[in-house]
Amino acid sequence: MGFTHRQLFQKHMAPTSDAPLALEIVSAQHIYLTDCHGKTYIDLISGIAVSNVGHRNPKVVQAIKNQVDQYMHLMVYGEYIQSPQVLLAEALVKSTLTNHLNQVYFTNSGTEAVEGAMKLAKRYTKRTEFISCYNAYHGATQGALSLAGDENFKNSFRPLLPDIQHINHGNLHDLSLITTKTAAVIIEIVGGEAGVKQASKTYFTALREKCTQTGCLLIIDEIQTGFGRTGTFWAYQQMDIQPDILLTAKGMGGGMPIGAFLANETVMRTLSYEPVLGHITTFGGHPVSCAASLATLNYIHENDILSGVRAKSDLFKALLVHPIIQEVRGVGLMIAVEMKDFKTVKAVIDTCIENGLITDWFLFCDNALRIAPPLVITEDEIKMACNILLQAMDKVFKN
Ligand SMILES: Cc1ncc(COP(=O)(O)O)c(C=O)c1O
């Protein structure tokens, strides 16, 4: 007799921790996941900020099917003219509302977008130093990991890249670390894994000015915040600043793997000479992923998804009132519900999962519960989700 899927998972799947969720999901639609026992879960974290237009959004599924009927992989990135790539590149440039970020380099993932952007910043500025934020997460490959602001997370993998400095997100004083040695500052508008960390417009204006004065590039990582998560297509658009390099992935693919970095052509073209082929990828901008991404972007615009995000965020904040909660903070549908400690958060999460709702905590903020549902969640579904959350909080509070 063969092994069960659970046994195969335990035997042959490389683990990332000793406590995986280990739910065996057999189908997904909209905000719902169904497991092998027929139990349905509300997905309140979108596979970590991915399924912005819902699981298996019909427009995305159709675009994938259409593309598979035409062609899949043809050639490494940047050689052939492939309609899903060029149309997506055009749509991404348009989504920035200016022609400043007018070229797109497609990758397979977020961390690869970070790697590409770091190489681009080094190549363009001829400098080597990077500045990132404490408690930021930019990916798991070694360049991106070097940027992580948490020593515990990266210590076992040293030596990593030298010349990395850290600043506190939102702290004006720390901007003095940015000098003419800095190749780039990489920052999120809303710190995702730091537990939805926000900073003011004044801060981002000062940061932009400092980068311009010193000639370093400002890399805005919108891998978690992009594609509408915070209520505007890009979160930086709420700060009235222009990035020099913009990073995207996660929600970009509507459930398919893809990432990208955008920059002005004067910056971007430096990756194509000295050396020629200075940055290359086989699968970056896979046509099927590009078709899915374009359908996702169009779905967000055509269904006016952005206009509902703020009201939905307000509804979560209005409903989530409980003595166990210390603070609810959030921008759009990127919300952190802070509690006393990890033990409390974990007990609430476990009870929610028992009761059919999936949520989790943050990499560098384990005393807060993550709420990042598909942006297409309805008001009735928010009420239903909050009922499950509040019941779980009641149970944990009483114990
Ligand atoms: C802000 C941010 N940057 C980069 C990454 C890395 O993306 P990926 O997991 O696709 O490599 C993540 C992933 O969580 C992220 O949240």
Q: Please tell me whether residues 102 and 179 are part of one structural domain.
A: yes
From 254, 279, 302, give the residue that closes a domain: 302
In whole angstroms, give the CA distance from residue 250 to residue 269.
25
Q: Please tell me whether residues 111 and 229 are part of one structural domain.
A: yes
Beta carbons of 223 and 372 less than 8 angstroms apart: no
Please give the angle made by the CA atoms of 330, 334 and 339, to the nearest 5 degrees: 60
- Over the stretch 202-216, which tens digit does the pLDDT of each residue have? 999 999 999 999 999
pLDDT on residue 312: 98
Is the per-residue pLDDT at 1 higher than 80?
A: no
Q: Please tell me whether residues 245 and 379 are part of one structural domain.
A: no
In the chain, % of residues over pLDDT 90: 99
Q: Please tell me whether residues 17 and 130 are part of one structural domain.
A: no
- According to DSSP, residue 195 is labeled T
Cα 70 to ligand 1 centroid, rounded to whole Å:
30
CATH number at 262 reads: 3.40.640.10
Q: Please tell me whether residues 226 and 284 are part of one structural domain.
A: yes
- Over the stretch 180-191, which tens digit does the pLDDT of each residue have? 999 999 999 999
- What are the backbone angles phi and psi of residue 273, rounded to the nearest 5°? -145, 160
Q: Which residues line ligand 1 (CB under 6 A)?
A: 109-111, 114, 137-139, 188, 192-193, 221, 223-224, 249
Cα 148 to ligand 1 centroid, rounded to whole Å:
11
CA atoms within 13 A on the CB side of 300: 28
Is the per-residue pLDDT at 239 higher than 80?
A: yes
Is the per-residue pLDDT at 318 higher than 80?
A: yes
pLDDT on residue 200: 97
Q: Please tell me whether residues 188 and 312 are part of one structural domain.
A: no
Cα 137 to ligand 1 centroid, rounded to whole Å:
7
pLDDT on residue 116: 98
Q: Please tell me whether residues 15 and 26 are part of one structural domain.
A: yes
Identify the domain containing residue 159 by its residue range. 58-302
Beta carbons of 121 and 245 less than 8 angstroms apart: yes
Domain count, the chain: 2
pLDDT on residue 399: 86
Residue 153 CB neighbours (<10 A): 16
Ligand 1 atom index nearest CA of 48:
14
The mean pLDDT value for 340-346 works out to: 97
Q: Please tell me whether residues 80 and 91 are part of one structural domain.
A: yes
Q: Please tell me whether residues 103 and 218 are part of one structural domain.
A: yes
Q: Please tell me whether residues 233 and 188 are part of one structural domain.
A: yes
The gap from C-alpha 390 to its chain's centroid, in whole angstroms, comes to 27
Q: Is the pTM of this model over 0.95?
A: yes
The mean pLDDT value for 33-43 works out to: 98
Please give the angle made by the CA atoms of 236, 258 and 68, to the nearest 5 degrees: 135
Is the per-residue pLDDT at 128 higher than 80?
A: yes
**Which residue is closest in CA terms to ligand 1's atom 4?**
138
Q: Please tell me whether residues 281 and 372 are part of one structural domain.
A: no
Is the per-residue pLDDT at 103 higher than 90?
A: yes
**Which residue is closest in CA terms to ligand 1's atom 16?**
224
The mean pLDDT value for 327-339 works out to: 98
CATH number at 385 reads: 3.90.1150.10
In whole angstroms, give the CA distance from residue 372 to residue 334.
5
In whole angstroms, give the CA distance from residue 228 to residue 33.
22
SS3 of residue 237 by DSSP: helix
In whole angstroms, give the CA distance from residue 6 to residue 37.
13
Cα 347 to ligand 1 centroid, rounded to whole Å:
26
In whole angstroms, give the CA distance from residue 139 to residue 116.
12
SS3 of residue 365 by DSSP: strand
Residue in this structure with the two tokens 């290359």, named with its chain if needed: 280
For ligand 1, pick from 118, 190, 223 the residue to mutate: most ligand atoms within 8 Å of CB. Answer: 223
Residues in the chain: 399
Q: Please tell me whether residues 52 and 65 are part of one structural domain.
A: no
The mean pLDDT value for 265-280 works out to: 97
The mean pLDDT value for 137-165 works out to: 96
In whole angstroms, give the CA distance from residue 119 to residue 183.
10
From 272, 302, 332, give the residue that closes a domain: 302
SS3 of residue 141 by DSSP: coil
Cα 84 to ligand 1 centroid, rounded to whole Å:
23
From 270, 286, 302, give the residue that closes a domain: 302
